[in-house]
Amino acid sequence: MDDLYVMRDEWGYRGTELTTTQGTGKPTERAYFYRPPSGASGLNITIDTALTTGAIDHGVILGEGDGTVSLLSMGYMCNRGWHMKRYNPSGAKVVVREMAHEPDRFSPRGGPNTGDHVDILGRTTLNEMILRIAAGRGDEIGDDVSSRIREYAGKVKIWDDDEEIGEEEEEKAESA
């Protein structure tokens, strides 16, 4: 395994920077309620569209995201996973830029401040950031995280290779 780390150093992975961007603040499907299976096979998986109460709308729970991908799915690795040696053995710098969904009222594509999953590609600040990176000035870009993703990511139970699980955590894991 040490040879792999040496090869990565020789290939120039050290000093590599990963800049991630994601739209936030747009209602996004994150959980579903299903009808009980019917028929002999039990393979009919259908969302229970009759269930509408509280945060459940026609069998769907909405959370924060970019309209397509939920915040935890798109933000976990950027804000926690890539900071672990297990997933980032070279220690590449990770920069996280969230872009809040602030659509123009009369623009069908969201305008220059959209955070929508696809339309973000037309966002002015995203394109400025891409040009800055392409021009070799990516080091001028820093983290900009306004959502609660770091709080959510901290609740995911995963340990890095070099972390020891303490007795309290071990007892909690065994009793769960």
Q: Quote the pLDDT of residue 69.
A: 94
Position 38 in a domain: no
Domain assignment of residue 106, given as a range: 14-26+65-161
Cα(61)–Cα(171) distance, rounded to whole angstroms?
A: 33
Position 35 in a domain: no
Position 98 in a domain: yes
Structure-derived torsion over alpha carbons of residues 114, 119, 124, 126, reported in degrees to the nearest 10: 100
Q: How many domains does the chain have?
A: 1
pLDDT, tens only, 79-136 = 999 999 888 888 889 999 999 999 888 888 888 888 999 999 999 999 999 999 999 8
Using the structure block, give the residue that is written with the tokens 């739209």. 23
Residue of 135, 110, 141 whose CA lies nearest to 123: 110
Q: Quote the pLDDT of residue 107.
A: 84
Position 51 in a domain: no
Q: 100 with 144: CB under 8 angstroms?
A: no
Q: Quote the pLDDT of residue 2.
A: 46
Residue 144 predicted with pLDDT over 90: yes
